[in-house]
Structure 1
Amino acid sequence: MVDPGLPPEVAGLFRANPSMLRRIRAGWRPLENPPGKSPVALAVAGMFAAVGFLALLSLEGGAAPSVLLFFMLLYFVSAAIRAARDSEESESPEQELYEFAHRYRDSYLLPDDFDADASRLLGRTRQAVDSVLRSRVNTEGLLDDVRNAVMLPPREWEVARLLAKLSSLRGEHRDLVRDGISVEVEAAMKPLERVLAGSESAVTAKVEALERYAAHVADAERAYRARGQIEALVERLPRYEELLAESGADTLGMPEIGRLTGEAGELERALRASIRSAHELFRHLEGPAPSG
């Protein structure tokens, strides 16, 4: 899980490298160029060697070696500058990921951050958000697709962040009581346990609100799909009527065909009612996400 406010290139890098992020958290660091082996160090070392050699020549040979010394100095200085620039531009992918992971350390979460109960709630959250964003009624603009795209990912991140905090505190709590506690400590921990239980209930309520919204969107999706199917059947009616007339079977009649148009109207009304219900639930989901 990544904060939707991250730059897209950083978010993509994090999503593609969860195992590396886990290693970085565990203390892994990318290898750096060993002393004296970097391009800059080699260029500087070459420069000093050339300076020393040409200085000896200038002492013995006069002005010509001095001119040569000047141009050699220019060459090695420019080489050192180019080496420094190339070194900066050729930063390894591991180094880049390492720097981003530390710069945005509070903007991504790994599977290890969630205990079993939190993982299940997070899975429900992601399923609800994905089902809304991928629905045809959303992608075709029957819902407020722009607001969904803007509001739902931060809500998903908010739930994930709270679940990670809840998992961490529950883990610490379990570690504390694993070897047994005294009666006094047990009494002191009761309020903290109520905080954990209350927080879990509050986060679960957020997840259930997202699921209710997703369920209404699913109702609208079914009505939308059925309406399209009925409209397709209505468009084919003249061909069926023509077949009946030409085959001489028109005396059989097909009263069911006449009901198609009415059913299409009923589905249209059901679709509009479903979308209105989804909009009402959406308004309950709106509002600034709590920070911290």
Structure 2
Amino acid sequence: MSPHNRSPRLVVDPALPGPISSVLRSAPETLRAVRMGDIPSARGPDPAKVFSTAAFLVLILALTGFAGMLTILVVILLFTGTRRLTADPEARRERRRMRTAIDHANRFVLPEDLDTGCGTLLRRAQDAADTVLTSRVNRAGLLDTIDNAVTLPDQIWQLATKLARLSAMRAEHRRIVPGVPPPEVAEAFAPYSTALETAARSLTRRVRALEDYAAQVRRADEVYHSYRQLEQLSERAPQYEELVAETAGDDLAVPHLRELTAQAQRIRDLFTESMEGARRAAGHLMGAQGPGR
């Protein structure tokens, strides 16, 4: 399915500690509630219960004295604590998730934070990053120009936050200027529209740089697979040479062996070239990212 038809995934700041990141990722509905401001207010003490409890304690004080009232107060506190400990564990977890989401509301980007164009760009970037991170050459540690496991999540986070800001500013621009301004004042509005378009082009270039890197990695991955197959065959070259010598004579065995060697060298050169292309693309990607956070 084309990234144009798929929503981007939730993005969480990779700089967050693992436990906090896990809580945020496990509760997308809670994150949406926080983003929409749908946060349940903390319930204060019930005035009626407070009054009745106070009146009861005063009555106990009058009937039994201070020691009796203190005993009853301890019983009430123990009963209240026990109720809290035995409360619904899922409700407690949800309160913790809500508190975590509120405390880190600026450390995640939801698909709903992006307009259609920005959402498409983020999905393209996520797909490109997935291609790199799941590639054979990356898992084999051959893409040593940058640390993809660290750099790519940070790239996605930077893109996501900038795309979210662009989406918000475009929505604000449409609210302020809902239609086409009159021709005589259109020029005064042009710089604002141009700024939004310039930002969109810049972010698009960054996504394309990431896609170029992913394309080079994909090509290197394909060659690497053939390269590994060739290595296995090269280990058996003496057996092939022996077979040809036994069946066709030494005069044909030597040229055939030279052809095997030449083909092996061509594949190695192709693999080296593809890896260099991936490294150059990585360099362009880092150059295209511009200023940091």
TM norm. shorter chain > 0.5: yes
Please give the alpha-carbon distance, in whole angstroms, between the structure 1 residues aligned to 2:70 and 2:82: 19
Are the equivalent residues in 1 in contact too, given 2:12–2:109 (CA < 8 A)? Answer: yes
Please give the alpha-carbon distance, in whole angstroms, between the structure 1 residues aligned to 2:34 and 2:274: 47
Q: Structure 1, residues 129-174: CA drift from partner, whole Å, max 9, x if none? A: 1111111111111122872222221111111222222222223333
RMSD after superposition: 3.8
State which structure, 1 or 2, has the greater radius of gyration over its C-alpha atoms.
1
Are the equivalent residues in 1 in contact too, given 2:137–2:220 (CA < 8 A)? Answer: yes
Identical counterparts, % of pairs? 33
Letter of the 2:110 partner, please give it. Answer: L
Q: Structure 1 regions of 5+ residues with no counterpart?
A: 59-65
Q: 2:200: which partner in 1?
A: 200
Q: Structure 1, residues 102-142: CA drift from partner, whole Å, max 9, x if none? A: 22222111112222222222122112211111111111111
Please give the alpha-carbon distance, in whole angstroms, between the structure 1 residues aligned to 2:55 and 2:85: 20
TM-score normalised by length of structure 1: 0.75
Match of 1:56 among 60, 63, 73: 63
Question: Do structure 1's residue 15 and structure 2's residue 25 form an aligned pair?
Answer: yes
Question: Do structure 1's residue 290 and structure 2's residue 284 form an aligned pair?
Answer: no
Q: Say which structure, 1 or 2, has more relative contact order (CA 8 Å, 6+ apart).
A: 2
Q: Shift of residue 225 of structure 1?
A: 0.8
Please give the alpha-carbon distance, in whole angstroms, between the structure 2 residues aligned to 1:291 and 1:243: 60
Are the equivalent residues in 2 in contact too, given 1:47–1:73 (CA < 8 A)? Answer: no
Please give the alpha-carbon distance, in whole angstroms, between the structure 2 residues aligned to 1:180 and 1:270: 55
Q: Shift of residue 27 of structure 1?
A: 2.7
What does 1:225-236 correspond to in 2, within 5 Å? 225-236=225-236
* 3-state SS of paired residue (1:6): coil
Q: Structure 2 regions of 5+ residues with no counterpart?
A: 1-10
TM-score normalised by length of structure 2: 0.75
Letter of the 2:291 partner, please give it. Answer: P
Please give the alpha-carbon distance, in whole angstroms, between the structure 1 residues aligned to 2:158 and 2:147: 17
Q: 2:153: which partner in 1?
A: 153
Structure 1 32/92 Cα, relative in aligned 2: closer, same or farther at 3 Å?
Answer: farther
Q: Shift of residue 284 of structure 1?
A: 3.9
Question: Do structure 1's residue 29 and structure 2's residue 39 form an aligned pair?
Answer: yes
User: What is the count of residue pairs matched by the alignment?
Assistant: 277
Are the equivalent residues in 2 in contact too, given 1:230–1:263 (CA < 8 A)? Answer: no
Q: Which moved more, 1:128-137 or 1:10-19?
A: 10-19
Are the equivalent residues in 2 in contact too, given 1:154–1:289 (CA < 8 A)? Answer: no
Q: 2:128: which partner in 1?
A: 128
* 3-state SS of paired residue (2:151): helix
Q: Structure 1, residues 2-35: CA drift from partner, whole Å, max 9, x if none? A: 2111222332333333233223322322375574
Q: 1:61: which partner in 2?
A: none
Q: 1:62: which partner in 2?
A: none
Please give the alpha-carbon distance, in whole angstroms, between the structure 1 residues aligned to 2:173 and 2:64: 76
